[in-house]
Every structure is written in C-alpha cells, then in structure tokens.
C-alpha cells in the first residue's frame, strides 16, 4: 500500500516560476526521498532528508520535512522547461525489515516555455 501521497497530482506553471509539491505519509519514517522521472526513463534520485532534519537544499531544490505533521514539500525555484517530469516522494519506515522504500503515486509537473 502507498505510504506517501503527493499533492497536487498535476501542476502546470510558466518557466521561471517556482513549483511546490507536497507529500504526506502515514507512519513514522527513517528518511524521506524525492525522485524525478522523465518520460520513458527510470527514476533519478533528487534529495534525501533524514527524520532528524528539517530542511535540505540542493541547487534549485529545497526540501522540508515536518515529522509532527507527517509531511514534506519539494520546492523547485526558477523552473525550467527541462524540469517537466513526474516527481515521486518515497519513505523508509522507522521500523520493519530491511529499509524498504515505499513510493507515492507521483506528481506530473509541466513547465511551459
């Protein structure tokens, strides 16, 4: 069953605008990860945030984690047409065997030139 649920399901913005995507999850986590998937390709890891971290940056990406609300957000600043892709959050549960990664259903981001 899906642990993470992304919101919105689809997002369309103009190039240069910021894109904010949200993820909520149900059980306590060890870490939360965001991945990008371009059409017809595999997933590419973007950023990992541990449960004791609140915010991480990587280039134009900013991820926040609120464990009290069981939610995370991914912000892409100054978006580009090349950012058009599907974005997935994935969680690693705090308990349970072997640190399995559980994915949400994904957000489709379209960046208009």
Partner 1 sequence: NAGVTQTPKFQVLKTGQSMTLQCAQDMNHEYMSWYRQDPGMGLRLIHYSVGAGITDQGEVPNGYNVSRSTTEDFPLRLLSAAPSQTSVYFCASRSRGQQPQHFGDGTRLSIL
> Which residue, 20 or 103, is less far from partner 1 as judged by CB?
103
72 neighbors 23 (Cβ within 8 angstroms): yes
C-beta of 57: minimal distance to partner 1 in Å?
16
- Residue 105 CB, nearest distance to partner 1 (Å)? 4
Any residues with CB less than 8 A from the CB of 30 and at least 6 apart, and which? Answer: 50, 51, 92, 93, 94, 99
The token duo for 76 is 């892409």
Give the Cβ contact number of residue 49 at 10 Å: 19
Q: Smallest gap, in angstroms, from Cβ of residue 34 to partner 1?
A: 10
Q: Which is nearer to partner 1, 16 or 96 (CB)?
A: 96
Between 28 and 99, whose beta carbon lies closer to partner 1? 99
Nearer to partner 1, 70 or 106 (CB): 106
Spatial distance between the Cα atoms of 12 and 60, rounded to a whole number of angstroms: 18
**Three-class SS state of 97:** helix
Q: Which residues bind partner 1 (CB under 8 A)?
A: 1-2, 30-31, 33, 35, 41-45, 48, 50, 88, 90, 92, 97-106
Minimum distance from residue 79 beta carbon to partner 1 (Å): 22
């Amino acid at each position: 069953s899906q642990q993470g649920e992304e919101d919105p399901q689809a997002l369309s913005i103009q190039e240069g605008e910021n894109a904010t995507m949200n993820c909520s999850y149900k059980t306590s986590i060890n870490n939360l990860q965001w991945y990008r998937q371009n059409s017809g390709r595999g997933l590419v890891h973007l950023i990992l945030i541990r449960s004791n971290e609140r915010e991480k940056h990587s280039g134009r990406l900013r991820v926040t984690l609120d464990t009290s609300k069981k939610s995370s957000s991914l912000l892409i600043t100054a978006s580009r047409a090349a950012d058009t892709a599907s974005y997935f959050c994935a969680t690693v549960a705090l308990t349970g065997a072997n640190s399995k990664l559980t994915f949400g259903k994904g957000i489709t981001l379209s960046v208009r030139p």
